[in-house]
Amino acid sequence: MNTKSIRLTAAFAAAAAAALVVTGCSDDNSSSPATNSVTSATSAAPGTAAPTGGKSSASVDGKALDAKFDTTCAKQGGTLALALTDTGNATYGQLSVSATVTGDDTVQAVGIAGSKGGDNGMPYAVGYGNGVPGGSAEVVKNGNTYTVTGEGVGAPDMSNPMGGVKNSKFEIVFACASIVGS
C-alpha cells in the first residue's frame, strides 16, 4: 500500500474529527442564519433526493446509511461545521458524518467514518478534502438545511492493499434545528 493513500485516509479522518471538535465545544445559544440559496464547487451529485420534513441523512454510492443521527451545526467566523453522529450504530459502530464549509459556499472537507463496517472488519471511511486529488463536493443551502454532495475517497481494502483506494459518491443532508454561533 502506498504512503500517499494512507496519508489521504488519515487527512479525511482528521477533517471529520476537527468538525466534531468544533461542534462539541460550542454552546446551545443560537439564532437563525440568512436564508439565501448557495451552490458551489464542481461535482456529479448522486441521483437520490433529499428527504422531506427536515430530517438529516447520509448515503454513499446511492445506499442510505441506516442511522439515528444527532445533528450538530456550529459557525465560528466564516467556518460552518456540520456533524451527524450515531454512537450505537448496528452496522458502523460509532458513526460520524461531517462537513466543513468556509465562506458561504466552499466545502473544505467531508468525512464519513465508522468504527466498524469497512472491508474485512476494518473501520469504514470515506472522505474529501478541498484541493486533494480524488474527489469533489458542493453544498446547497435551503434555510437551515445544508445538502452536501460529491465524491470522496474510501479507505483501501487492507486484504488487497495493491487494489488502491475506491472513489464513492455521497449525499449528506444536515437539517439544522439551530446553528450555534451564528
Beta bridge partners, 175, equal 145
Q: Alpha-carbon distance 182 to 179, whole Å?
A: 6
Residue 151 C-alpha cell reads as 465524491
Tens place of pLDDT per residue across the chain (182 aa): 343 433 333 334 434 443 333 333 333 333 333 222 232 222 223 333 333 346 999 999 999 999 999 999 999 999 999 999 999 999 999 999 999 999 879 999 999 999 999 887 889 999 999 998 889 999 999 999 999 999 999 887 777 778 777 899 999 999 999 999 97
CA distances from 62 to 66, 78, 96, 148 (A): 12, 31, 18, 14
Please choose, from the candidates 74, 54, 108, 25, the residue with its C-alpha nearest in 3D space to the C-alpha of residue 182: 74
